[in-house]
Structure 1
Amino acid sequence: MSAVRLVRSEALAAAPYAFASRVDAGAELIFLAGACPLADDGSTVAVGDVAGQAQRCVETMLVALDAAGAALADVASTRVLVASSDRRDLVAAWDVVRAAFGDHDVPSTLMGVAVLGYEDQLVEIEAVAAVRRG
């Protein structure tokens, strides 16, 4: 069972994610670096394709979570960065991330930014997870 509890409130506007999450006492926090849309050789994948890059970011995030001894259900929050000022691009990335998380709809921030670190990079996903040890 995950150490993360999603928090909802009927006093707030309906949203496709929880407004907050709580982490059980004694859980270990895991802070992931931004998952990037990179191939194994370090090149950027799906150049020009926001949804394709978001999918690769999710795949990368899953590998990083596994390496840290966590899973998607252990994620307490995310931040999705999209190098675009076009809301359609942000929604395209969000749709991929939202589908990956399914019922574990963690609190998330979706932001359009001017530029990301790798050449041709359009999407990056940061995450914080929590796991029980022992």
Structure 2
Amino acid sequence: MSSAVQLIRSADLAAAPYAYAATAPAGSRLIFLAGACPLEDDGSTTAPGDYAAQAARCVETLDIALRASGATLSDIISTRVLVASSSQADLVTAWDVIHGAFGDHDAPSTLLGVTVLGYDHQLVEIEAIAAVAEDAR
């Protein structure tokens, strides 16, 4: 099934590794996902100190929540990626993993460095909104 999400680009803006905007048609069902965190099944934090491993686990968590909602990564309309670091290199490390997981579906995203996240040793979190056709469940 094809996604209801339409990614929007503009030749009038700088080239970027993501779409600048996205829309979904009227009648789409929006899915607002809680922040996907790098938690293992036992509640422990994945790979303390490892931005890439935590980003990968966040994508896995996001994917599971999407499937439970009747959606996939290609239904994401936008994301916000939070990285607990003041180092741009750490943000890029997390971003590269997340961006790679999305492949050609480069939904609009905001990448932020933050002071601290909610779980012990947590370095990465992904917030997302998805859109699916109303009859897709």
- Shorter-chain TM-score bucket reads over 0.9
> TM-score, with normalisation over the residues of structure 2?
0.97
Report the secondary structure of 2:71's partner residue. coil
> Aligned-pair distance for 1:23?
0.8
Q: How does 1:76-95 map to 2 (within 5 A)?
A: 76-95=77-96
> TM-score, with normalisation over the residues of structure 1?
0.99
Q: Structure 1: which 5+ residue stretches go unaligned?
A: none
> In the TM superposition, what whole-angstrom CA distance separates every residue of 1:8-67 from its partner, at most 9, and x where no partner exists?
000001100000001111000000000000000100011100000000000000000000
- Structure 1 runs of 4+ aligned residues shifted over 6 Å read none
> Aligned-pair distance for 1:132?
0.8
- Structure 2 CA distance, aligned partners of 1:48 and 1:97? 17
- Structure 2 CA distance, aligned partners of 1:36 and 1:104? 21
> Aligned-pair distance for 1:133?
2.5
- Root-mean-square deviation (CA, aligned residues, Å) is 0.5
Q: How does 1:1-134 map to 2 (within 5 A)?
A: 1-134=2-135
Q: Structure 2: which 5+ residue stretches go unaligned?
A: none
- Code of the aligned partner of 2:53: G
Report the secondary structure of 2:129's partner residue. strand
Identity, % of aligned positions: 68
- Structure 1 CA distance, aligned partners of 2:20 and 2:79? 12
- Code of the aligned partner of 1:105: D
- Structure 2 CA distance, aligned partners of 1:33 and 1:81? 13
- Code of the aligned partner of 2:25: D
- Code of the aligned partner of 2:95: W
> In the TM superposition, what whole-angstrom CA distance separates every residue of 1:65-114 from its partner, at most 9, and x where no partner exists?
00001001100000000000000000000000100000000000000000
- Structure 1 CA distance, aligned partners of 2:134 and 2:13? 34
